[in-house]
């Protein structure tokens, strides 16, 4: 004989009055891991964007006299790197680049993928076939390869990186949204709208995409995590943003050259930051999936 959770009973009155969005927020907040992810992400954002205002460091000039100081010495909480820049400060500045590129590229990829997939799935027929073959062809080419090639041709500034990563990673969301759109287009409310004289644009943007939003949002978080990893790869291979700017991947790449000297503080902080941010986004994605997945609710 099961005992009902007292927590649930207290919340009972809220369900009847709340719209779907408030209910989703509640579902999301009930997921401990997702809340942890959100808190970690928040702390990281504060650390990277507000941190430099409190912890002033020179991240442009080299001070060879202060090179590779170990953590804790003279105001360098995490020590200094091979040219004397403060690692803590650098972690903040590098994080800005990583997060900016990751979030912007992830969102761009989601946007392109959603619109592409929704149109493809809604249209069906030969339009769908052509649009999906484009996606198949895109998936057949490794994203990393495309990134490396373009990085050698173009100067890898932040906007360029965002554009490139965004344009190579919209394929997966496009497939996901297309699958949703295929079933959504035959729903009665889309049929009813057509019968009222509504056009295709309204069907796609007012009905198909809003109802696929769960898939889109959940996937967006994973897209951001992937984009951060991807940009880390590229930088690690030495093709990231140009110095003096850096990102976490670039910091790692630098640090690796000094492993044999035992300068662990050049590797661990950046590596840990990447792991943390990717985990945070994945946890948030999980929480969002719970929030959007009505069928799983109440388990």
By beta-carbon proximity to other proteins, the closer residue of 23 and 245 is: 23
By beta-carbon proximity to other proteins, the closer residue of 7 and 64 is: 7
Pair 265, 70: CB distance under 8 Å: yes
Residues within window 211-250 making contact with other proteins, judged by CB under 8 A:
211, 213
User: Residue 165 corresponds to which tokens in the numbers above?
Assistant: 């990563």
For residue 292, the surrounding DSSP H or E stretch is: helix 268-292
| Backbone φ, ψ for residue 272 (5° rounding) | -60, -40
Shortest distance, position 230 Cβ to other proteins, whole Å: 32
The DSSP call for residue 227 is: H
Pick the stretch among 2-10, 59-67, 98-106, 157-165 that binds other proteins (CB under 8 A).
2-10
Q: Which of 191, 238, 259, 275 binds other proteins (CB under 8 A)?
A: 191
The reply to whether omega before 152 is within 30° of 0 (cis) is no
Q: Which of 193, 237, 276, 279 binds other proteins (CB under 8 A)?
A: 193
Q: Which of 67, 149, 192, 242 binds other proteins (CB under 8 A)?
A: 192
Q: Which of 4, 56, 155, 262 binds other proteins (CB under 8 A)?
A: 4
Shortest distance, position 213 Cβ to other proteins, whole Å: 7
Q: Which of 3, 54, 64, 140 binds other proteins (CB under 8 A)?
A: 3
User: In angstroms, how far is CA 6 from the centroid of its own chain?
Assistant: 36
The sign of the torsion formed by the CA atoms of 70, 73, 78, 80 equals negative
Shortest distance, position 194 Cβ to other proteins, whole Å: 6
Helix ranges (DSSP H) in 18-157: 20-30, 32-45, 51-54, 87-123, 125-140, 143-153
Left (φ > 0), alpha (ψ -120 to 50) or beta: where does 172 sit?
Answer: alpha
Pair 33, 283: CB distance under 8 Å: yes
DSSP for 164-185, written as a single string:
HHHHHS-HHHHHHHHHHHHHHT
Shortest distance, position 216 Cβ to other proteins, whole Å: 12
Q: Does 202 bind other proteins (CB under 8 A)?
A: yes
User: Residue 53 corresponds to which tokens in the numbers above?
Assistant: 């205002």
Pick the stretch among 12-20, 123-131, 134-142, 169-177 that binds other proteins (CB under 8 A).
12-20
Which residues touch 287 (CB under 8 Å, ≥6 apart)? Answer: 28, 31, 33, 34, 35, 37, 38
Task: Please state, in angstroms and rounded to a whole number, the distance separating the CA atoms of residues 274 and 264.
Answer: 16
By beta-carbon proximity to other proteins, the closer residue of 158 and 193 is: 193
Residues within window 13-42 making contact with other proteins, judged by CB under 8 A:
14-16, 19-20, 26
Shortest distance, position 281 Cβ to other proteins, whole Å: 25
By beta-carbon proximity to other proteins, the closer residue of 3 and 153 is: 3
Q: Which of 9, 61, 155, 262 binds other proteins (CB under 8 A)?
A: 9
Q: Which residues bind other proteins (CB under 8 A)?
A: 1-5, 8-9, 11-12, 14-16, 19-20, 26, 187-189, 191-199, 202, 206-207, 210-211, 213, 297-298
């Amino acid at each position: 004989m099961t005992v009902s959770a007292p927590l649930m009973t207290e919340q009972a009155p809220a369900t009847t009055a709340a719209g779907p969005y408030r209910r989703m927020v509640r579902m999301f907040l009930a997921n401990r891991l997702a809340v942890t992810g959100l808190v970690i992400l928040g702390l990281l954002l504060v650390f990277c964007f507000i941190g430099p205002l409190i912890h002033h460091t020179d991240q442009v000039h080299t001070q060879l006299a202060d090179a590779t100081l170990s953590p804790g010495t003279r105001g360098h909480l995490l020590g200094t790197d091979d040219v004397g820049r403060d690692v803590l400060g650098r972690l903040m500045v590098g994080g800005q680049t990583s997060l900016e590129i990751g979030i912007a590229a992830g969102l761009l990829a989601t946007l392109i993928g959603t619109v592409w997939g929704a149109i493809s799935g809604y249209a069906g027929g030969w339009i769908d076939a052509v649009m999906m073959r484009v996606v198949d062809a895109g998936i057949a080419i490794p994203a990393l390869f495309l990134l490396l090639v373009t990085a050698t041709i173009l100067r890898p500034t932040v906007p360029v990186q965002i554009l490139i990563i965004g344009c190579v990673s919209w394929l997966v969301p496009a497939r996901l949204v297309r699958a949703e759109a295929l079933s959504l287009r035959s729903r009665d409310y889309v049929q009813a709208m057509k019968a009222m004289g509504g056009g295709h644009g309204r069907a796609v943007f007012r009905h198909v995409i809003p109802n696929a939003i769960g898939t889109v949002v959940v996937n967006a978080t994973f897209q951001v995590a992937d984009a951060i990893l991807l940009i880390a790869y590229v930088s690690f291979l030495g093709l990231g943003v140009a110095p003096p700017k850096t990102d976490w991947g670039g910091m790692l790449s630098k640090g690796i050259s000094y492993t044999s000297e035992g300068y662990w503080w050049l590797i661990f902080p950046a590596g840990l930051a990447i792991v943390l941010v990717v985990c945070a986004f994945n946890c948030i994605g999980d929480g969002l999936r719970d929030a959007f997945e009505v069928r799983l609710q109440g388990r």
